[in-house]
Chains A and B, each alone.
Chain A
Amino acid sequence: MKRLLYILSIVIIPQFIVYMVITRTDNQCVINKEGPTELKVENYTRKADRINIMVADHSKFEILQQEFERPQDVTLACLSCHTERHHELMANNHWTWERSEKLAGRDSIVSLGKKNIINNFCIGINGSEKTCVRCHIGYGWGDKEFDFTKKENIDCLVCHDQSGLYKKGKGVSGMPVEGLNYNIISQSVGSPKRENCGICHYWGGGGNNVKHGDLDKAMNSCSKDVDVHMAIEGEDMSCIACHTTENHVIKGKLYALSSEDKNRATCEQCHTDKPHNDKVLNNHGDRIACQTCHIPEYAKANSTKMVWDWSTAGRLNDDGSQIHESDADGNHNYLSIKGTFVYNDHVKPEYMWFNGLADHVLITDSITSIPIQMNTLMGSYDDKGENCESTSCSKIWPVKVHRGKQPWDPILRKLVQPKLWSKNKGDSAYWVDFDWSNSITAGMKYTDLPYSGEYDFVETEMYWPLNHQVSTAAKALQCTDCHTSSEDGRLAELKGFYLPGRDHYDFIEYIGILLVLLTAAGVIIHGGIRIVLRKNCLHSKEE
């Protein structure tokens, strides 16, 4: 018996050792099965530890109790105590709507911003400033003559109002609506809350969540299913918790506008570049953006616009009135002034290599390929940076791709800027007169650019790397969402590099499987013959 045990132990002990080796539990990941373990974060104060002290009660300041005639007077009142702050703001691109950027792949530095960029939503602001500047932090930008040096034109309230009463008007060059009580509003001020940022950043492109797909008014008050960070029952974070701000310099820029990899808000700020307790997962971070796994889908609460086709715009009812058509979810799918749309919700992102740098099509650029990439995201598998100590190494990013069809000049092969908005008929504004030729001529004249006189519609794509609507860890992508040969694999389209589980070499597969089958067949045949000729074989010849 003892001997038997000893003998068996030689077979059993190895199994035991192997079992011990492979089930060491020391590097479980952050989400283990028993429930979430404490997430490690730095540079961040948790909700439970936040202290809410009001530093100054603005209702006690006499200057804010005066009767305000104009919103500009409020600004002057602010600046009377917060002196010199206007310098900070006037340098901020929320004010300038442009910044000097070196575009990826080009040598020259350009001045680029909302002021002059072309996108594939409302195309561009030129000629339509009066309505577009509703999202400008200023008062009175109606045309090219706006004075960017006049400090009273800064709109402090749009960001700092905490009463919820402040509101900018439509088509009034960034002025607030009539009849606001500036005493209540100005005395309420505080650091910006989500609502303040959201009023522009949710509503870009002319509707809630239209542009980004991951910035939605629902995020003012949402559950963890929409965004783990902002969830009310969770950490309830404000925008500026990540987009940290000092002296009105706000961290984070929009990739759709900004080309350089500077002053970005990143996950690593708080989560470090080794957020998991699992080495394999952390290593993934070398080539995969956090967002890729942690934002498995966007437009989680409300739909976002996926396609915008301007070419169908201009269809009117028989009586000349405008057409509004909506899809089953209540999202517009046709508007006379804008054309045809496709909205979608719970969208799976597309995935691209991206190193943080972008190029942008300028209105002066000659188009060389169609669909036009409005903001080419730079990067490739082979772009590993200089050993990737910086963020310049390309990573796989989740991207919302907005596909459009918009007017261009097929003769000069350039995009065009139509004039869209006017208060009055006969002012060449497309949204009033529905005449492309006139509106483009007017827009191009306004921007001092040549126009051949012919227009057509061209396909465009615009890329929106996703950063918000982060899911809970439990809903993050799992290995086989990418490591799969299935056509539904998240990275099925991102070819050009070897991905384990997705890729294989056919010839190796054929050789391997063939060899295995041949061997198995050989064994079966050989063994079969031995069994059939049992008398002679298997060495059972009794001694």
Chain B
Amino acid sequence: MKVYIYKGFERFWHWTQVTLIVMLALTGFEIHGFYELFGYREAVMIHDRTAWGFLALIIFAIFWHFTTGEWRQYIPTIKLVKEQAQYYITGIFKGAEHPTNKLVYNKFNPLQRLIYLGLKILVIPVMVLSGFAYMYLIYPNETFVLGSLGPVAAVHTLGAFFLIVFIIAHVYLTTTGHKPLSSIQAMITGWEEMSEQEAKEMVKSEMEYSLKVAKYNLITNKDRSAFLDEALMETEAKLGVKCNNKLHDVISNSGAGYFRIGMDGTYQEVNESWVSLYKYESIDEIIGKNYSLSRSKDSFAQLQETFNKVLKGETVEHGLVIRHCKDGSIGYHTLTMTPFTKDNKIVGVEGIIINIDRDNATKLQWDNENNK
């Protein structure tokens, strides 16, 4: 299954940066005296010009990151860093699932976040600053002159070594995707090959995101019933899940179900996915029924609590929930509930449920407990 994760600019930026850094490294280490490649003079000229190109690109990229909000991708998180590291150390050899997934709003796993962030706020600025100091602050006819080139060169060279280390590790880690070449392919085409599971995860997170966005956007909310469709469309557009006809499958497989419950605790609306998740035959079987029907006793009490909270105006992300299907079997999903308003009065709750299969459920449960 293929999912669109890298936008045009991102890919353009990435490949330009690759070329620039490779050229800078090749010429830089020639200047440093490691080998002869372009000829010293040519190397200096290329290094200087490439440096300017690099600066220009960085300015573009900064602009892009802030106008698109992509900068959020680099907000560091220490959540799951350990798991990610654990995965690279042992899990990967056992064929374990990636503990984190490439999500549109979270493209990078926590380790990547840390490393890319380090790269962006430490190594690259240091290289650019030391590089331009190297270029301009050494001439005695400037007003501000560095006492000696030594420290600048030392910082610049050390940074260059770090970049080489980064490049080696980075290129290698691209082979740890779904298939060895799928990450690189993604950076070229924008579409990343993922396992069904990963795609589902991605849809889930996308839905959650849309829900949040929608909550802020649709305050007056005349056509809130159409909200889910919008969210789906938005998701579709953002994810660009490749085969359109498969989208609904994906979403239904992913377990994204929609429901609305009135003040009285009866279902007023559910969507197809909801129905199939609960293994009912038709929507009519549900509408008008009390929501207790889909719960075990224990979890009903819990749900009631949540329900009341939401009626008071809170949005609750319930985390893992166990559901009782029509046939008596048990399923797991995450639940997000928000108040449903009419004329500025809360008249019920609506929400989205996302199916989780057994393996993941355990993991999520574990997470929930650890986060508390």
Contact = CB atoms under 8 A, between A and B. Distances in A.
A527 B176 CA distance: 9
Contact of A7 (B148, B176, B190): B190
Contacts of B48: 280
A18 B53 contact: yes
B33 A485 contact: yes
B165 A385 contact: no
B150 A498 contact: yes
B205 interface: no
B179 A497 contact: no
Contacts of A32: none
A512 B93 contact: no
A387 B142 CA distance: 7
A348 interface: no
A15 B22 CA distance: 11
Interface stretch (B155-163, B282-290, B315-323): B155-163
A477 to B, nearest CB: 11
Interface stretch (A255-263, A426-434, A466-474, A518-526): A518-526
A18 B93 contact: no
Interface in A478-526: 478-480, 483-485, 497-505, 508, 511-513, 515-516, 519-520, 522-523, 526
B92 A530 contact: yes
Interface in B162-188: 162, 164-165, 168-169, 172, 175-180, 188
A519 B179 contact: no
A387 B23 contact: no
A533 B93 contact: yes
Contacts of B65: none
B52 A515 contact: no
A173 B140 CA distance: 50
A179 interface: no
A504 B28 CA distance: 13
Contacts of A497: 148-150
A15 B40 contact: no
Contact of A523 (B33, B154, B169, B190): B169
A91 interface: no
A519 B140 CA distance: 40
Interface stretch (A65-73, A239-247, A416-424, A535-543): A535-543
Given A18-B20, A280-B48, A515-B165, A500 B31 contact: yes
Contact of B50 (A22, A384, A540): A22
A10 B177 contact: no
Contact of A504 (B32, B36, B190): B32
Nearest to B168: A519
A384 B188 contact: no
Contacts of B149: 497-500
A171 B57 CA distance: 77
A286 B92 CA distance: 57
B12 A10 contact: yes
Contacts of B32: 500-501, 504
Contact of A536 (B44, B53, B94): B94
A287 interface: yes
A283 B145 CA distance: 14
B15 interface: yes
Which of B31, B45, B53 has most chain A Cβ within 10 Å?
B45
A105 B266 CA distance: 101
B211 to A, nearest CB: 29
Interface string B14-43: 011011100100000001110010011100
Contacts of B95: 535-537, 539, 541
Given A388-B140, A527-B175, A479 B40 contact: yes
Contact of A24 (B36, B49, B147): B49
A539 B178 contact: yes
B168 A523 contact: yes
A423 B94 CA distance: 104
A508 B52 contact: no
Contacts of B196: 543
A7 B139 contact: no
A10 B186 CA distance: 12
Contacts of A388: 140-141
Contacts, number: 156
A287 B140 contact: yes
Nearest to B19: A18
Nearest to B95: A536
B346 interface: no
A384 B168 CA distance: 42
Contact of A501 (B33, B161, B168): B33
A538 B140 CA distance: 56
A280 B188 contact: no
A11 interface: yes
Nearest to A484: B33
B296 interface: no
B53 A505 contact: no
A514 to B, nearest CB: 9
A387 B143 contact: yes
Interface string A178-189: 000000000000
A22 B53 contact: yes
B188 A7 contact: yes
B159 to A, nearest CB: 10
Interface string A368-381: 00000000000001
B143 A515 contact: no
Interface string B116-150: 00000000000000000000000111110101111
A287 B146 CA distance: 14
Interface in A8-51: 8, 10-11, 13-15, 17-18, 21-22, 24
Given A11-B15, A526-B172, A543-B196, A538 B179 contact: yes
B253 to A, nearest CB: 13
Contacts of B12: 10, 13-14
Contacts of A511: 158, 161
B11 interface: yes
A384 B143 CA distance: 12
B153 interface: yes
A15 B19 contact: yes
A13 B16 CA distance: 8
Interface in A392-443: 393
B168 to A, nearest CB: 5
B325 interface: no
B314 to A, nearest CB: 40
Given A384-B145, A385-B140, 16 more contacts: A10-B11, A10-B12, A10-B188, A15-B15, A18-B53, A286-B141, A381-B148, A393-B140, A498-B148, A501-B33, A503-B153, A504-B33, A511-B158, A523-B168, A536-B94, A539-B179
Interface of B: 8, 11-12, 15-16, 18-20, 23, 31-33, 36, 39-41, 44-46, 48-50, 52-53, 88, 92-95, 139-143, 145, 147-150, 153-154, 157-158, 160-162, 164-165, 168-169, 172, 175-180, 188-190, 195-196
26 contacts: A7-B189, A10-B11, A10-B188, A14-B15, A15-B15, A18-B16, A18-B23, A18-B50, A22-B46, A22-B49, A385-B140, A388-B140, A478-B40, A479-B40, A480-B36, A485-B33, A497-B148, A500-B31, A501-B33, A516-B165, A520-B168, A526-B172, A535-B95, A539-B177, A543-B195, A543-B196
Question: Which 10 A-B residue pairs are closest in the complex by CB-CB distance?
Answer: A512-B161, A14-B16, A536-B95, A479-B40, A384-B140, A388-B140, A498-B150, A21-B53, A498-B149, A523-B172
